[in-house]
Amino acid sequence: MNRVALGALVVLIALTGVAAAQDYPIRPIKFMHGFPPGGNVDIIARLLGNEMSKGLGQSIVIEPKPGVAGSLAAEAVARSDPDGYTLLVVPSAHPAHGALSRTINYKVVEDFEWISIASFYPFLICVRKDSGFQTLAQLIEEARKNPGVLKYGSAGVGSILHTTVELMGSDTKTKFLHIPYRGEAPAITGLLQGDIDFIAATSGPISARIRSGEFRALAVTGRTRWRDFPDVPTVAEQGIPGFEVISWTGLAGPAKLPGPIVNKLNAELRRAISVPDVKEKLESMGGDPRSTTPAEMRALVTSQFATWSRLAKEANLSIE
């Protein structure tokens, strides 16, 4: 093929993509996610779907496909046609599970087109109100003196709540005893009952208990202090420079989703989370409603996948 013909083909493909975006969508869109109805990801999917359907002019159907830490839904979307009608509401568990799992059938980053984050969430390292630990530094020092004795709970092996504490242990060369639960709520109950010594919990379900005095927050895992608890220092401020783990929920599609469609969905998501009612509901869940460019979301997923892959190698962590 000569240069003139090749150039004409490139222009034709580009124009076809623009035309597809101008027409898109012409039928209902499906938002898939990998968690049970009524959970954090499901609620965000429905908030986004309800508002984005208004701007896109088509209904958005929410389809939960629970199982294997969200990977069943991720695989289904990765294998779907890249036409913008099957999308994935994806949480930060995606790169963590992908780094630890030996059985996923997709590439964590490359098999998706990344559209935008919708909301960010920090984690809080918490103890019971009657705990003797007043600071994170004290807790880490105790773990150094007595490796593998201090118990922490999580939402299960390979969950972000699990890998966050393991990363903290890896960075400080300390060992904690992991007690997995069937979800975050049972783990919080375990801390309340004194079955474990501490927990890394998402801001939404733990904030009210901190305000009531049931729990004491020792640290926040974000890069900066959290707006709701400005007196709680970051992990990085307490002896682990550069430490940052931030949870998020966003929107993605299958690889090769046309750029104009990605951009249209990105713009619509940005609009949706700026709507006062949507923004207020996301904030009431403990989130920070904030969008990204597709490139920024890809960079975040890539970075977190690298972090969790390093942890999996250093701490010899894996899940089947």
- Does residue 163 sit in the same domain as residue 97? no
Query: Quick check: helix, strand or coil at residue 62?
Result: strand
- Does residue 77 sit in the same domain as residue 150? no
In eight-state DSSP terms, residue 319 is: B
- Does residue 111 sit in the same domain as residue 149? no
- Does residue 116 sit in the same domain as residue 198? no
Q: Residue 285 belongs to a domain with what CATH number?
A: 3.40.190.150
- Does residue 147 sit in the same domain as residue 230? yes
Helices 40-56 and 259-274, axial angle in degrees (round to 10): 110
Per-residue pLDDT of the chain (320 residues; tens, 9 = 90+): 555 555 555 545 554 555 556 799 999 999 999 988 888 889 999 999 999 999 999 999 999 998 887 899 999 999 999 999 999 999 998 999 999 998 899 999 999 999 999 999 889 999 999 999 999 999 999 999 999 999 999 988 778 889 999 999 999 999 999 999 877 888 999 999 999 999 999 887 888 899 999 999 999 999 899 988 999 999 999 989 999 998 899 999 999 999 999 999 999 999 999 999 999 999 988 899 999 999 999 999 999 999 999 999 988 888 86
Task: Give the DSSP per-residue string, 222-287.
Answer: SSS--TT-TTSPBSGGGT-TT---EEEEEEEEETT--HHHHHHHHHHHHHHHHSHHHHHHHHHTT-
* 141 within a domain of the structure (yes/no): yes
Q: Residue 170 belongs to a domain with what CATH number?
A: 3.40.190.10
- Does residue 24 sit in the same domain as residue 72? yes
Residues 6+ apart with CB under 8 A from 2: none
Alpha carbon distance 209, 305 (integer Å): 31
Cβ burial, residue 279 (10 Å; 0-12/13-18/19+): middle
* 182 within a domain of the structure (yes/no): yes
Structural domains counted in the chain: 2
- Which of 255, 205, 207, 295 minimizes the C-alpha distance to 87? 255
Alpha carbon distance 184, 39 (integer Å): 11
* 114 within a domain of the structure (yes/no): yes
Which pLDDT tens digit goes with each residue over 253-270? 999 999 999 999 999 999
- The boundaries of the domain holding residue 61 are 3-121+247-314
- Does residue 52 sit in the same domain as residue 17? yes
- Which of 171, 130, 169 minimizes the C-alpha distance to 147? 169
* 286 within a domain of the structure (yes/no): yes
Q: How far is CA 286 from CA 54, 116, 229, 257, in A?
A: 25, 19, 11, 31
* 220 within a domain of the structure (yes/no): yes
Which pLDDT tens digit goes with each residue over 72-125? 999 999 999 999 999 999 999 899 999 999 889 999 999 999 999 999 988 999
- Does residue 50 sit in the same domain as residue 108? yes
One-letter amino acid identity for 189?
Answer: T
* 319 within a domain of the structure (yes/no): no
Q: What are phi and psi of 319, to 5 degrees?
A: -135, 145
Alpha carbon distance 50, 137 (integer Å): 44
Q: What is the pLDDT at residue 9? A: 54
Cα 175 from chain centre: 25
Structure tokens that stand for 240 in this block? 């682990």
- Does residue 94 sit in the same domain as residue 113? yes
- Asked which of 211, 238, 265 is the last residue of a domain, the reply is 238
- Does residue 91 sit in the same domain as residue 69? yes
Q: Are strands 86-91 and 29-33 parallel, antiparallel or unpaired?
A: parallel
* 90 within a domain of the structure (yes/no): yes
- Does residue 140 sit in the same domain as residue 166? yes
- Asked which of 238, 268, 289 is the last residue of a domain, the reply is 238
Query: Quick check: helix, strand or coil at residue 64?
Result: strand
Query: Quick check: helix, strand or coil at residue 112?
Result: strand
* 320 within a domain of the structure (yes/no): no
* Through-space distance between the first and last CA atoms of the chain, rounded to whole angstroms: 48
- Asked which of 172, 203, 238 is the last residue of a domain, the reply is 238
- Does residue 46 sit in the same domain as residue 195? no
Whether the CB-CB separation of 21 and 260 falls below 8 Å is answered with yes
